[in-house]
Amino acid sequence: MTDPIADYLTRLRNAIKANHRIVEVPASNIKKEITKVLHDKGYIQNYKFDEGFNGQGSIKIALKYNPQTKTSAIFKLERISKPGLRKYTRAESLPRVLNGLGVAILSTSKGVITDKEARELNVGGEVLCYVY
């Protein structure tokens, strides 16, 4: 697999389209950090890290749905920086997703954080994905 983050986002996207409550993805440190950011921003209900026998382990993610309309809290997941074309941004030119309604997830020297946190810390980095 050449792009594990794209695979992670695709698994989430497919589970949302199939109205699954729980999705299981192979674990890595960057995926764990992205999952923590999604949980902190309210896009997923809960998550659990399971250590497997092979050492890699998995992440079980409980997706969040609106009880009245049965729609997901995540409307769209979009991969920005890809292995063939990395996208980096400075602190002054951080992207705004849906005029501030969405979240851009960045990998910075301060860890995996959102665009709003990166503005406060005045750091730039690699734009991993947009979530809204």
Q: What is the CATH number of domain 4-131?
A: 3.30.1490.10
Residue 107's closest CA among 74, 79, 75, 77?
A: 79
- The whole-angstrom separation of Cα 9 and Cα 56 is 18
Determine the pLDDT at residue 64: 96
Sequence spans of domains, the chain: 4-131
Residue 114 β-bridge partners: 105
**What are the φ/ψ torsions at residue 29 (nearest 5 degrees)?**
-65, -40
In this prediction the pTM is 0.94
Residue with tokens 């990395």: 86
Ordered mean pLDDT values, 10 residues apiece, the chain (132 residues): 94 96 96 97 96 85 94 96 96 93 97 97 97 96
